[in-house]
Every structure is written in C-alpha cells, then in structure tokens.
Structure 1
Amino acid sequence: MTATTETVSTATAPRGRGGAAQSVTDSLVMAKRNLIRMARIPEVVIFGLIQPIMFVVLFSYVFGGSITIPGAGTSASSYREFLMAGIFAQTVTFATAGAGAGIAEDMHKGLIDRFRSLPMTRGAVLTGRTLADLVQTALTLVVLAVVALLVGWRAHDGIPKALAGFGLLLLLGYAFTWIGALIGLSVRTPEAATSGGLIWLFPLTFISVAFVPSQNMPSFLQHIAEWNPFSATVVACRDLFGNLPPGYPVPDAWPMEHPVLASLLWSVLIIAVFRALAVRKYRSATA
C-alpha cells in the first residue's frame, strides 16, 4: 500500500512547464529563497569573511619578506601584491564547502522532497543555490579587496582590467560551487559535505602558484601547479591587476603563457561537467 501511494504521489506531482524562460524564473526564485535564508543567519556570512581576512594578514606579515619572488627578491610589499590574487582565488573556491553543506542540509531535512512537489524545472533548486552562493562570494570579495588595499595591495593597470580579474574570480567560484553541489548530493549529512568540500581544496590551492612561485617547487610539482586550473586564474588575475614584478619569468606551460584564456576554459569546462553530473545526481537522488 505504501509503495502504491508513493508511486501515485510521484506520478501526480506537478511539473514545470519547461523551457529556458521557465528554468531562469525558477532558478531566480530559488536564489531569492536562499539569499533570504542567508540574511536571516548573518553569522554564516560573518564567519565566512573572517577566515580570508586572517589569511591576508597572516600571509602578508608572517611570510612577507621571507619568500623570494623572481624579479622582486624578498621585498615584503612585492610579496603582498603577488599574494593577493592567490588569496582572492582561495576565498572564492572555499565557497565550495558552503554550497555542499547547504544542499546536504536541504536533503537531510527533506526540503528537496518538498521542492519536488512544486511545478519547477529540475535544475532550478541547484542553480538557485549556486547563484545565491555567488552573491555571497561577491560580497566577500568586496570586503577582502578593501582589506587588501589597507595592507598595501594595489591594482596598477586600471579599473577595467581589475574588474575583469574579479570577473574571472567569480566565474571560478561559481564553477567550484557546482563541485560542492555534487558533493552535497552525494553525502548523507551537512558535516560530511563540509569535510568533503574542504579536504581536496587544500592540496589544490597549495600545489599551485597562489602563495609561492612554481620555480621554488620540486620539478614534479611544478608541472602539477602550472596545469592546475586554480593556478590559471591566479596568474590571470596577477596579469590583469598588474601585480607581476618586472622580469618575472613565465613558466613554459600553456596555461601560464595564456592565463586569461586558460582560466576561462577551465571554469567553463568545470561548470559544464559538474552541473551535468549534479543535476543527474539530483534526479536520481530524488526519483
């Protein structure tokens, strides 16, 4: 009897009208819902701001002056400018854990089942969540940029290029929230989603050119760091911000020679692959 009831309930659940316009509308509604929830829990946003600010201060004043930057030596001010693109990129990618935990929490509380009863497109729940996370990431970047200015960071190549750099950062962050969405759908609890969203991010961000030049690494790690999608965005931002010192050697790797294009390609590829996987997982998890 229970199986029959569940079958009838699934069969009679209203479906969205479909189409691109309906998908966009549903996604924006879900994004608004998530933003309202974030606004009602401000401590989540506040704690999300504290960690990157701590990274800026600690890396700037603890490691600044002790790490050699090709073309600039061990200048503390040069290291701060070299560092900031890496901190920005690390901050946007760490939004992965929040996205995964949020979706896992909705699954755990049964909210996803309630959404299924509404006439909306299947991908709207995930797209709305990732868009809301993108807004939070943008807010975090604004605050972080102000802190960076206070410790001496500057963008030297003008506002348009600086905005382009921040655009690449947001695109990378949005791409990684889809990885978080897939993780959130694949685990049973929000705690597992948080752990699963962070454990692989640390080697990804540290085996990169975010905090030290790849020339300072062992040869086998240099190739990993230079082909790391995270590194492509970091180098692209340094280029757009004008933060590379004169005479800085460009590694002999295609992503390092064409960082802006490589960053765009990596981010678009990650979105395409992981959005498809996440939507497929969502359908199978709630079928």
Structure 2
Amino acid sequence: MLTQAHIDRVVAAALEEDAPWGDVTSEYLIPEDARATADLTARESGVFSGGEVFAAAFRLTDPTVEVRLLVDDGEFFERGAVLATVHGPARSVLTAERIGLNFAQRMSGTATLTALYVAEVAHTTARIVDTRKTTPGLRQFERHAVRNGGGHNHRFSLSDAVMAKDNHLAVLAEKHASVTAALTAALSRLPHTTHVEVEVDRLEQIEPVLAAGLGARGIGTIMLDNFSLEDLRAGVALIDGRVTVEASGGVSLETVRAIAETGVDVISVGALTHSARALDLGLDVRIRTDG
C-alpha cells in the first residue's frame, strides 16, 4: 500500500536532489509576488497514476500551493484532458514542476502499459503481475501504478516469500543436493504462512518440485520460465491444478495472449516497470503579478 508517509519521504528526497540550494532561476528571475496557475494536461491518452505523488511535490515545496486533482488514479483519460490544476506562488510552482511531472509521467506510463497487457488477456484465467525489476527506491510507486492499470503485484521483496530461482537450484546442483530433499527441508522449517514458489526451466523439473509437498506447508507456485507454448500447455497439464502455475520470460504485448491461452494462472511481466515509457503530460503555466 502506498502511504502518505512513504510518498513524502521519496518526494522530499527528489526535491532535495533537484534543488539542493534552492531554485536560482526562479529566485532571481521571477518576482516574489508573482502568482501562477497551471494545468496538468494530457498530450496523449492513457491511464492516470500518481496523483497524490504529483500533489506532494508542490505541497512539500510550499504548503500554500493548492493542487486540485481532477481524475482519480486508475482512471482512463483522453488526449487534451486536464488532469489537475495548480495554483500558488509562481516561484514555488516552477520549482516543483519537474519533480511533480517526472513522477506523474512515469507512473501513468506504467499504468497505461499495464492496462494494455491486462486487455490482451481478457476472458482468460490469467492475471498480469509485475516483478522486482523496478527502479531502486521507487518500487512502491511503480507497484501502485501497476495496480492502477489493472495488474497485480508479485512478492514485494526478498523478505516476503520463498522463491527458489534457477541460480538457487544451480547452487544445490553444485553441492550434489537433491532439489526435492532441499525443498522438503526448507518447508519443514518455514512458517505455514510463508508462500513457496519454485522456478523451473524444463518439464522434467516439475515432478521433483511437486514431490517436496503440497498444501499449507508445501509448494504453492511453480514458475515455468521461458517455456515454449507447447511446453507451457504440457506443464499446465502435468501440474493439473495442484499448485498455481506462473509463466515468465519472453512476454510481450504480441505474445501475452497466446501465453494466457495455455491455461497458466499468472503471467509475470518485467516490462511493466523496467520498460514502460513515460507518458507525455505537460504543465501549462500562466503567471501574473499581483498589484
């Protein structure tokens, strides 16, 4: 959940980075009594995300700046729509402008891309989820944007769940350890509330993973990584509903529908956060001097 405390912490750091000793351009060029009104305007269609983050950039710069959000996070908008209005001291509005825009553009871009993936898998049983391939320090913002686009979140961090990936299994193989035995031993020590997922890259790895155990103290999800469509269908049939089936690797807007139609439950898409294009939003500012 994206909290106000987290928003303020991240946005404050961004403002400090952008204006560590103040905005010298605005301070020396813009009259102190100048007031500004600005519209956050969509230059292309998309799904909005980051409204409270956008507002925080102005509020933390100057509490007297007023921001009115005109659309909700997760709401679709057309090109030309006014998404928010800003009013306050011109110097403050201009100082906060870029940080507010950066966050709104990036988050709306992620929400919009996610919505495209979600639309592609409509009327299948698959859900679109993100990954940990996020911008360092911005994971909560990007995960929020994925939800705004209709997607779902994977584990948030390494502390949330067990996820044995190919490199973990490679280490076990080097130690000549049985995957089944290693997983069984781990499951015996884990709390029953901890979800366990295992990544496999070959069909023959599935049964040894399932042999470690199922249910509350067993394997919960198997990820089929970089499987062909034929092998995905075979993997789904082999698992036969005993655990959740996740597909990963090689997922794009062009391939995601066919992947969903193999019967997998979850499709994880790193591109939602690591490759989303910032949406084209602009802040159209009008300045006047009082008196």
Instruction: State the TM-score bracket (shorter-chain normalisation).
Output: under 0.3
Larger radius of gyration: 2
Q: Which has the higher helix share?
A: 1
What TM-score comes out, normalization by structure 2 length? 0.22
TM-score by length of 1: 0.22
Greater strand share, structure number: 2
